[in-house]
Chains A and B, each alone.
Chain A
Amino acid sequence: MGALSRLGLPCLTAEAVAFLDGHGIYTVEDFLAYDLYRLGDGELQKQVIAGLLQHVAATTNCTWTDGATLFERLTTSTTLVSTGCPSIDDVIGGGLRPGTITELVGTSASGKTQLCLQAAAAAALELRASVAFIDTSNSFSAHRLAQIVTGLHGKDKFVEHKQELRNVARRVLCFKAFDIYTALRLLDDLLVHMDGAESKRGGDGNQGDFFQKLQLLILDSASAIISPVLGGAHTQGHALMVSLSGLLRQIALKHNIAVLVTNHTVSGEGGRPKPALGESWKSVPSVRLALAREDESDCCTATVTKHTIGACGESVPYVLSRDGLRAFEAEEPGATQQLEWRQE
């Protein structure tokens, strides 16, 4: 909320503004911080105080609800967004939860981007939802996305439904942002568009439609844009990081969207990898999934290292296959079938 004179409230006549100026009150914040008894209790003062307080109450607009309503909403209208890999869904409690931020942290080549692409594919295919993919490191590959969609869809059905792939690909929108300022602007614009799509149901053409169906926002990777500004003698980088996390949270909560971010690793004590965005970022995601790849091996493991409502420490092995991330179960007959299928 900016200067009082720009609010355009009926109670703020020229006389009232001049009066407030006399008390050193120029902004809404000045007004709230001021001892209102010192303003006096004339007719003008009463009107101004009542009018402004009403305005503040109306714009901040915080309403309460109760546990029963929340629970009902959870059971009836919350759709978990699958990552496309059932075993990983299981360890994080069924899938990516709308309204929360899930983080993937892992070494290079551990499959972070692959899991992001797979979640995008699964949401667009199975939920027919729109997906916003913010790519900060040139790693979005539509070709790979199409491969994963084919893998999820199953080959037989797919031949008949080539149109389906086009529809799925249309639902995934990719944005590029190579520095934090661009990313912040982008998220801010997305938020404005989402607010817009919410207010005018029916929407304006394709764009409105996209934002109404948006269920998943992916930021791959968050650390690539934050780490160049973080650290050193200045604290501005930290402020930027907090802004980014604030915006992500706002988008998640306000529009009930599942947010998936990735974080890379740096070497920590004794050469062991640790997350690049460390302690101060740790409070941002509700769920943190650590991906790790054993040396010289195709088998990777995903471990839950933070979960606000579920159990931590559970881990699941997976492999990166042509069709995307798959549970590592070499002995099962199903898996061998899949292998043969791939060789065709």
Chain B
Amino acid sequence: MDTAALPIPPSSRAKLFAAGFRRLADLRKISAVELAKESGLSQEEALHILRVVNPAGDNGAMAGAKSALQILQIEKKRRRITTCCETLDEILGGGISPQEVTEICGVPGVGKTQLGIQLAISVQRPEELGGLAGEAVYIDTEGSFMVERVLEMADAWLADVRREALSAQEPHLEASTSGLSAETVLSSIHYYRAYDYTEQLAVVNVLPQLLKQHPKIRLLIIDSVTFHFRQDFDDMALRTRVLNGMSQKLMLLAEKHDVAVVLVNQVTTKVVGQNQSKLVPALGESWSHACTNRVILFWMEGQRYGHIYKSPSLRAGTAPYFVTTEGIRATPATNKRPWQEQSASPSDLGSYRTEELGLSVAT
């Protein structure tokens, strides 16, 4: 490998080059003092370079490697975050998986934010009930996170979890839910509001620290990843670069801290042929490679469906789901409470909600 490819300042690179240190092998088994003397770099610079070449406590490439057998065993043990909707869970292989980046896209009003909030709650499912007992980070770029709605869904979720624990008739299961309350659910969601793309990128950059401080975090949601990137960008090549860089950072986070990353994406109209267009996920062709899994939410004949568009491990599949007062569910609402219009986000529940919902909503 060339020393030209090392992540070091250009001035240091030029000095290394001039002194004849062209290959990485030239920098092995040399002390910082010697390197400084021979290359004209300061000792600090030389030390920095040597740290880059051979980080302390690093065992080389083999340290991070795992065989497929080891990964298979890890994958088998891995618990997933349920969507609270059995039909969606089925096509997702049990829910959203930690260590993976999953993108959710769909038209306004189809329930992307609702699904995001649902996941932020259900990641807290107690371990005794097969959950992750984790916390969530919610990065809101659109201002669509409505805390009243979260509370409503949290209450419904708590009731469900308690009912499930009770029906098992095992004391330790009941005990596992006793510590849960609407307050603990809400306080386990770490919320960021990012007002422009610089703030959004800044949050992504400080996430490693946050995840270190809060090791229980198992889910990271960006709702939506798209919003700020669809405006204020003249240089599309720059946008692609910035987005790709961000997605690689998120992948590293997912892998290193064992969190599930969920990215909400909007859809856009793409012109195909003459006078014809179709809806496609926003941010273009290059972004479509940035996520490990892509789930498309769509309407068909008044019914919501989720579709697995791509995944390295899951087969393509489609399943219906409902957005009810309780949250995301596999069956229509049973109307425990009247739907409160203001409790849901304006961007996600368009005016056609009531007509197209296909549910009996008591008002």
Binding site for B on A (CB under 8 A): 1-3, 5-6, 26-30, 107-109, 113-114, 117, 120, 133, 136-146, 166, 168-176, 178-179, 181, 184-193, 207, 221, 223-225, 227-232, 236, 239-240, 243-244, 246-247, 264-267, 271, 273, 276, 298, 322
Contacts and interface: CB of A to CB of B under 8 A. Distances in A.
A107 B19 CA distance: 45
Contact of A138 (B23, B101, B237): B101
B4 A243 contact: yes
B351 interface: no
A174 B272 CA distance: 40
A108 B288 contact: yes
A175 B255 CA distance: 12
Interface in B298-335: 309-310, 312-313, 315-316
A276 B286 contact: yes
A189 B60 contact: yes
Contact of A185 (B2, B61, B292): B61
Contacts of B61: 175, 185-186, 188-190, 193
B75 A228 contact: no
A264 B60 contact: no
Interface in B1-19: 1-2, 4-7, 10, 19
Contacts of A114: 312
Contacts of A178: 248-249, 251-252, 255
Given A2-B20, A137-B289, A232-B241, 6 more contacts: A113-B312, A138-B292, A173-B65, A178-B251, A271-B271, A298-B316
A264 B240 CA distance: 13
A300 to B, nearest CB: 12
B67 interface: yes
A128 B126 CA distance: 43
Contacts of B72: 142-143, 145-146, 169
A175 B68 contact: no
B313 A141 contact: yes
Contact of B38 (A3, A146, A184): A3
Contacts of B270: 271
B1 A174 contact: no
A144 B315 CA distance: 10
Contact of A139 (B23, B249, B312): B312
Nearest to B2: A243
A227 B241 contact: yes
7 contacts: A26-B20, A27-B19, A29-B22, A109-B309, A142-B71, A227-B240, A236-B10
Contacts of A2: 19-21, 26, 30, 38
A179 B253 CA distance: 12
Interface of B: 1-2, 4-7, 10, 19-24, 26, 30, 38, 60-62, 64-69, 71-72, 74-76, 99-101, 237-238, 240-241, 244-245, 247-249, 251-252, 254-255, 270-272, 284-286, 288-290, 292, 294, 309-310, 312-313, 315-316
Contact of B1 (A146, A243, A267): A243
B271 to A, nearest CB: 8
A184 B72 CA distance: 26
The 6 closest A-B pairs by CB, nearest first: A27-B20, A189-B61, A109-B310, A141-B313, A243-B5, A228-B245
A183 B285 CA distance: 24
A172 B67 contact: yes
B156 to A, nearest CB: 32
Contact of B62 (A144, A168, A207, A276): A207
Counting chain B CB atoms within 10 Å of each CB, the highest count among A5, A120, A187, A227 belongs to A227
A139 B248 contact: no
Given A143-B313, A179-B248, A247 B1 contact: yes
Contacts of B238: 231-232
A144 B251 contact: no
Nearest to A189: B61
Contacts of A120: 68
Nearest to B7: A181
B108 to A, nearest CB: 23
A143 B292 CA distance: 15
B313 A108 contact: no
B244 A227 contact: yes
Contacts of A171: 67-68
A170 B67 contact: yes
Contact of B20 (A29, A186, A225): A29
Nearest to A265: B285
B251 A138 contact: yes
Contacts of B292: 137-139
Contacts of B75: 141-143
B255 A108 contact: no
A176 B255 contact: yes
Counting chain B CB atoms within 10 Å of each CB, the highest count among A137, A171, A229, A240 belongs to A137
Nearest to A230: B241
Contacts of B315: 322
A174 B248 contact: no
Nearest to A247: B1
B65 A266 contact: no
Contacts of B251: 136-138, 178
Contacts of A188: 1, 24, 61
Contacts of B24: 188
A3 B19 contact: yes
A174 B20 contact: no
A225 B62 contact: no
A227 B166 CA distance: 52
Contacts of A143: 72, 75-76, 313
Contacts of A223: 289
Contacts of A137: 248, 251, 289-290, 292
Contacts of A236: 10
Contacts of B245: 228
Given A172-B67, A243-B2, A266 B240 contact: yes
